[in-house]
Structure 1
Amino acid sequence: MRAKRAFSAVCALMTAAFVVTAADALGADAPAVSVDAGQSSLVEDYQHPNKEGAAAVGLTLKNGNGKIFWVDCVAGADQVTVESDSITTPNHVACFKVVGIDGYLALEIPSTYFVKAGSIKLTATLTGRANGQDVKRDYSIKPGQLTPVGEPVYPDEGPAALVELRSVA
């Protein structure tokens, strides 16, 4: 997918360079060239695609580097699964695909209680409250392992929100 985007970006830049070169060759009589206002920018904004669809099932997807992204859950697939009372899918599960190490996704899933990694190790960051103070905890999620996080581990802190996933070596 990134290769296709990169190819499209290169083609757009080459077209723009050709137009500028052609205009220079024609001199001052060259017609003005305008850019379509509806055309999307070539600048990456790191916003997660399909944020609206995710919000409909209780996930807030913020931004990332494209190596971790929300997907439909498929039995037996190499996916990260997150279990939360706030997710409105069957079994309260959301799934994510990880496509390499150094992946990053900022998100918010309140009341998260389990995270299971696919074939790549993860760090999951959750936030909660204890004694009136904000608490931030990182959990190491081993490949293929269902790991309790948040309230099951620290019941005095109450429900915790998953705020970040990172794939690590």
Structure 2
Amino acid sequence: MALAGFIGTASVIAGGYTFAVAAPAPAPTDEAAPPTAVETFSYPNADKILKEKGIVLRKGDGHILLADCKTSTDIVVGTRQNAEGRYCFKVTGNGKSGYLALEIPETFNIKTADYAVRAKVTAEGTTDTVDVPKNGFKGVGEGKPATEGGPGAPTVLVELRVTG
């Protein structure tokens, strides 16, 4: 009898409780993981520009863009590389900074409009830095004036930086 009383009491106690069982979460799949974005700062359509314009645009921050000289002359690079004798660039953003790694052979001057620019040019294995003030003009390489030790050797423009 004691056993029957125990079973009855256990049934009443057990009936008052609810047990919850959670189903396991599905294992993540490779399809669920988003792709990792890696910014290389490579210049868009660089191969096409090389083919059409004859200059190498390597990489930048998007604030110095190759432009049509009829619409933008923020930075003008004088060169014997093309029939027009120049390449033009547009400065975007706030105009306080910008970076572009490039190669323009036979560069002989750099002209700026509303932005100061620091340029790097190479000639005969030596790299020089040239500061061009806002609304300024600087001869480089063969375009360097005699008062600055010119004319110099043919130069390749390898970098433009907007400095303000």
Same fold by TM-score, threshold 0.5 exceeded? Answer: yes
Matched-pair contact (CA < 8 Å) for 1:78–1:119: no
Deviation at 1:26? Answer: 8.3
Distance across 2 between alignment mates of 1:73 and 1:141: 19
Structure 2 residue aligned with 1:158, among 147, 153, 159? 153
CA distance in 1, matches of 2:28, 2:110: 58
Alignment counterpart, residue 84 of structure 2, candidates 91, 99, 107: 91
SS of 2:76's equivalent in the other structure is strand
How far has the Cα of 1:44 moved from its partner? Answer: 1.3
**Would you tell me which structure has more helix in proportion to its own residues?**
1
Q: 1:64 to 1:31 in 2, by over 3 A?
A: closer
**Distance change (3 Å), C-alpha of 1:109 and 1:34:** same
With structure 1 as the length reference, what TM-score do the two structures score?
Answer: 0.68
Q: 1:34 aligns with which of 3, 6, 31?
A: 31
Q: Which runs of 4+ in 1 moved over 3 A?
A: 30-33
Of the three residues 67, 71, 76, the one matched with 2:63 is 67
Change over 3 Å in CA distance of 1:31–1:168 after alignment to 2:
closer
Q: For the Cα contact (< 8 Å) 2:73–2:89, is it kept in 1?
A: no
Aligned position for 1:9: none
Q: Cα deviation per residue 1:35-75 (whole Å; 9 max; x = unaligned)?
A: 7xxx9863211111121232121211111122112122225
Q: Secondary structure at the match of 1:151?
A: helix
Where 1:73 maps in the other structure, the secondary structure is coil
Residue aligning to 1:142? 133
Distance 1:119 1:40 in 2: 40
Aligned-residue offset at 1:121: 0.4
Superposition deviation, residue 94 in structure 1:
1.1
Max Rg structure: 2
Q: TM-score, normalised by structure 2?
A: 0.70
Q: Which consecutive unaligned segments of at least 5 residues does structure 1 have?
A: 1-24
Counterpart-to-counterpart distance in 1, 2:24 and 2:85: 63
Distance 1:72 1:125 in 2: 22
Aligned partners of 2:24, 2:91: CA distance in 1, in Å?
50
Other-structure match for 1:43 = 38
Number of corresponding residues: 134
Deviations 1:63-122 (A, max 9, x none): 1122112122225x3521111111x3x422211111222211111111001111121100
**Does the 8 A contact of 2:74 with 2:115 survive in 1?**
no
Structure 2: give runs of 5+ residues left out of the alignment.
1-22, 145-149
Q: Percent identity over the alignment?
A: 32
